[in-house]
Structure 1
Amino acid sequence: MSVIASGRPEPGVINWTFDGGTHFGELNGLPSKRVDEITALFQEAGLVTRSTDAILSYTWTKVVGWIPIGLLATLSRQNNAGVLSNRILATELVLMIRELKALADLKNIPMIDFGPYQMKTWCEGTVEEAVEHVMTSPLTKSTSTHSALQDIQKGRTTEFQACVAPLIEEARKQAVAIPRTQVMYAALLGLEATL
């Protein structure tokens, strides 16, 4: 699971805004030789890499943040900073994050805080408190643009059908209400149909 962000302010220029590295771990949380070997291989190549016994938490934390930011970015046509620094969008972000967290809760997968993804903090307290945390995130100063918005800007469909559709189906089966995520996803599909 990787968390790396960058921005391309102009052709030929890339600004790395965050390198949270790549995390490797076994789904059961136990240490293994293969995790140690691939982590060492990545580190030898000079990449920021860590092994973890909480790979499910890292993965779900990223997805629970990545999906709402991407949906809001594509439909508002704003980079990550634009989404997180706008109070209306930040509020919707928090509400969608909390919707998706309910699916992780069913699996007993806790959210964590790492890098720009402060999901544990953003899911605690009142919505207003969480919005204040979002609006002071390092991402509010970032030039990074969500990969889904980059796809839309280039006239391509996003990877969201592969990522979001299964979560919506799981929510339906588990009777978990995620109406904001469903509406935003439907709107994105409508946008993609025009490309």
Structure 2
Amino acid sequence: MKIVIVGGGTIGRLFGSSLARGNAEVTIVDVDSQVVSAIQEHGIGLMTGGLDDPDMVTSIPVTAITDTSLITECDLILLMVKSFSTHQATQSVAHLINESCPILSVQTGLGNIEAMAQIVSRKHILAGFTFMTGAALGNSKVRRGSAGKTYIGELDGQISERVKEIAGVFQASDMPTQVVRRIVGRLWCKVIVFSAINPLSALLKVRNGYLLDQMESISLMKRLLDEGKAVADALGIDLVYTDLYQLLFDACMRSARDLSSMLQDILDDRMTEVDAQNGALCKFAADCGVPVPTHQSMVELVKLLEQWRPGMENL
């Protein structure tokens, strides 16, 4: 299968390395010419979580480009950019998307499907998310974290042949994958859970597991969960998982030694996805009249952190 991955960050590199080792023909597209050059020259440098030496990596060759017009055909597009880049990234590959080449969003945020549907037909869009974790290192390297499951599905809930085929390719590439009917409800569950984990880990500058060590952080996360669930209930979202608290604790434990994506963004001086997570919940809450003061505080605090960053320069 010819697969184009739009976004050469952590998840893009993890998926790209696994799919390439599973004999898929992988092309990674990224706007960062330095990342693209490094991948072209060295391949994706995969480092497993148990290794401490950044030079102990397995080099996996893939194609990498910045110009999507160079691609004339493919079988699947994986959208793995930050949510604020979804519209532009979808436009860049719109000429490839059709009945035989769907685009699969593998992102943790709300509003991405709607942004994609402004450019391409919804019938060509698939939704998904992953609990795989890792960390992008310098140039083209990536460290694999926890090997979580990936979920994919059709927006209308059908179990189609194309999603089964994609899941088969993922499974053959050593990526545990499940095709599900209620993918949108499951995505909301993940967003609500990680809207509790991500901003707190970024603000406190701790690994995910530490959030379970103090009652104050547990209390804050539970408050964020309750507010997020209230928004989903008001909108009639089928959340699938009945126990979000257990989902939260499982996510923290599974990724206990990992840095959240939001903390990695802060440490690397990048924009976070707080607008697509806590911010999106705030927007939906305003539309349906549900108070979410804790989420609003998280948005404001993370945005301040984006401006000031870690360090002493503001003292």
TM-score (normalizing by structure 2): 0.50
Tell me how far 1:27 sits from its aligned partner. Answer: 2.2
Q: Which amino acid aligns with 1:67?
A: S
Is this contact kept in 2: 1:3–1:21, CA < 8 A?
yes
Unaligned 5+ segments in structure 1 are 123-132
Q: For the residues of structure 2 that align with 1:98 and 1:61, how far apart are their CA atoms?
A: 12
CA RMSD after TM alignment: 2.6
Secondary structure of the residue that 1:101 maps to in structure 2? helix
1:71-82 paired onto structure 2 within 5 Å: 71-82=199-210
Structure 2 CA distance for partners of 1:15 and 1:24, relative to 1, 3 Å: closer
Q: For the residues of structure 2 that align with 1:153 and 1:26, how far apart are their CA atoms?
A: 35
Tell me how far 1:54 sits from its aligned partner. Answer: 2.2
Secondary structure of the residue that 1:172 maps to in structure 2? helix
Match of 1:34 among 162, 165, 171: 162
Which segments of structure 1 move beyond 2 Å, counting only runs of 4 or more? 5-8, 12-17, 161-167
Indicate the structure whose relative CO is greater, using CA pairs within 8 Å and at least 6 residues apart. Answer: 1
Is this contact kept in 2: 1:23–1:55, CA < 8 A?
yes
Match of 1:97 among 203, 225, 239: 225
Matched, 1:22 2:150: yes
Match of 2:264 in 1: 150
Q: For the residues of structure 1 that align with 2:221 and 2:207, how far apart are their CA atoms?
A: 14
Q: For the residues of structure 1 that align with 2:171 and 2:186, how far apart are their CA atoms?
A: 19
1:89-168 paired onto structure 2 within 5 Å: 89-105=217-233, 106-112=235-241, 119=244, 121=246, 134=249, 139=253, 142-168=256-282
Tell me how far 1:191 sits from its aligned partner. Answer: 1.3
Q: For the residues of structure 2 that align with 1:166 and 1:13, how far apart are their CA atoms?
A: 29
Match of 1:130 in 2: none
Structure 2 CA distance for partners of 1:141 and 1:54, relative to 1, 3 Å: closer
Secondary structure of the residue that 2:149 maps to in structure 1? strand
Q: For the residues of structure 1 that align with 2:176 and 2:219, how far apart are their CA atoms?
A: 32
Q: For the residues of structure 2 that align with 1:28 and 1:140, how far apart are their CA atoms?
A: 30
Q: For the residues of structure 1 that align with 2:182 and 2:276, how far apart are their CA atoms?
A: 24
Matched, 1:70 2:198: yes
Match of 1:187 in 2: 301
Structure 2 CA distance for partners of 1:26 and 1:140, relative to 1, 3 Å: closer
Structure 2 CA distance for partners of 1:7 and 1:90, relative to 1, 3 Å: farther
Secondary structure of the residue that 1:71 maps to in structure 2? helix
Match of 1:126 in 2: none
Unaligned 5+ segments in structure 2 are 1-128, 310-315
List per-residue Cα deviations over 1:38-93 (Å, max 9, x = no partner): 11121222211111112123211111111111111111111101112221001100
Secondary structure of the residue that 1:4 maps to in structure 2? coil
TM-score (normalizing by structure 1): 0.79
Secondary structure of the residue that 2:132 maps to in structure 1? strand
Q: For the residues of structure 2 that align with 1:46 and 1:13, how far apart are their CA atoms?
A: 17
Match of 1:128 in 2: none
List per-residue Cα deviations over 1:108-137 (Å, max 9, x = no partner): 312417xxxx61647xxxxxxxxxx84x87
Q: For the residues of structure 2 that align with 1:138 and 1:82, how far apart are their CA atoms?
A: 8
Is this contact kept in 2: 1:7–1:143, CA < 8 A?
no
Match of 1:51 in 2: 179
Matched, 1:177 2:287: no
Is this contact kept in 2: 1:82–1:140, CA < 8 A?
no
